[in-house]
Each structure stands twice: as structure tokens, then as C-alpha cells.
Amino acid sequence: MLIEFLERFFPRSEDNSRQQVKNRLKLVLAHDRTDIPPQALEAMRREILEVVSRYVELDTSSMEFALENHQRTTALIANLPIRRVRSQADEAPVEGVVDPGNLELEPLTPNAEPANAESIALE
């Protein structure tokens, strides 16, 4: 009650123009600095997921994939929770566990041999 009363006279920082300008700047600069078109980012996301999904099953619901800026360095932050590691015998994702529609992945080639996948990983 007292706090609410005082807040009316001493407003908290979130509402002032100083905080507003900082937030606007941070947003616009994150965009300015990365300079990657959204289509390219989406293509990159799809390809990375495709490669990772060859080896492990991903939990698509809690995945994160974003460009972040800190101290003038741009980093690609990808958080890809693993549901389970694929065994060597797995040739393609088991339907129903990973929904390809959700992932927006190209379907994996059904004749991809495990040996083939290993050689890609080595390169």
C-alpha cells in the first residue's frame, strides 16, 4: 500500500524515456550488427538440424535457435535438447517421435548407410 503510493511519485525505471531509448537501441543494433537476411538464417537452421538429426533425436518443442550480440561479438546460440541418441541401426527417424512437418526438414534419404554418415562427420 505504502509502496504503491510512493511509486506514484517516484516511478520505477521501466517507464522512463531513458529505459525506452536503451531498449529500442539494443533491438535495432542487434539487427544492424548481424546483417543476415531472415531467409538465410532459416536455411542455416534447417541444414544444421538436418545434420544433427542424423545422429540424435531432437526434442523440437523446446528448441532454441537465435543470433545474439554481446560485447560486439555475434554468436549463434542453438539449444537443441536431445531426446535420444540414434543407434547405428537407425536408418531414418522413427515416425511419430520426431514430426518432420514440425522440423521443416528435408526427409532423410532412406538409403543413407550408417557408414556414409560417419564419413560426413569426419570431414
Partner 1 sequence: MSRIIVITSGKGGVGKTTTTANLGMTLARRNRKVAVVDADFGLRNLDLLLGLENRVVYTAVDVLAGQCRLEQALVKDKRHPNLVLLPAAQNRTKDAVNPDQMKQLVNALAKVFDYVLIDCPAGIEMGFQNAIVAAREALIVTTPEISAVRDADRVVGLLEANSIKKTQLIINRIRPAMVQANDMMSVEDVQEILAVPLIGVVPDDERVIVSTNRGEPLVLAETPSLAGTAFDHIARRLEGEKVEFIDLNASNDSFFSRIRKALTTKLF
In the bound complex, what is the minimum distance in angstroms from residue 112's beta carbon to partner 1? 41
In the bound complex, what is the minimum distance in angstroms from residue 67's beta carbon to partner 1? 15
Ramachandran bin of 9, using left for φ above 0, alpha for ψ from -120 to 50, beta for the remaining angles: alpha
| Chosen residue from 21, 36, 51, 77 binding partner 1 by CB under 8 A | 21
Q: What angle do CA 62, 67, 69 make, to 5 degrees?
A: 125
| Chosen residue from 39, 62, 71, 87 binding partner 1 by CB under 8 A | 71
Does 94 interact with partner 1 (rule: CB under 8 A)? no
Ramachandran bin of 56, using left for φ above 0, alpha for ψ from -120 to 50, beta for the remaining angles: beta
Does 17 interact with partner 1 (rule: CB under 8 A)? yes
Does 102 interact with partner 1 (rule: CB under 8 A)? no
Least Cα distance to 107 among 118, 116, 98 occurs for 98
Does 22 interact with partner 1 (rule: CB under 8 A)? yes
Among the residue ranges 9-17, 60-68, 83-91, 112-120, the one whose residues contact partner 1 (CB under 8 A): 9-17
- Dump the DSSP string for 45-71: HHHHHHHHHHHEEE-GGG-EEEEEEET
Contact yes or no for 108/92 (Cβ under 8 A): yes
| Binding-site ranges for partner 1 (CB under 8 A) | 3, 6, 10, 12-13, 16-19, 21-22, 24-26, 28-29, 32-33, 71-72
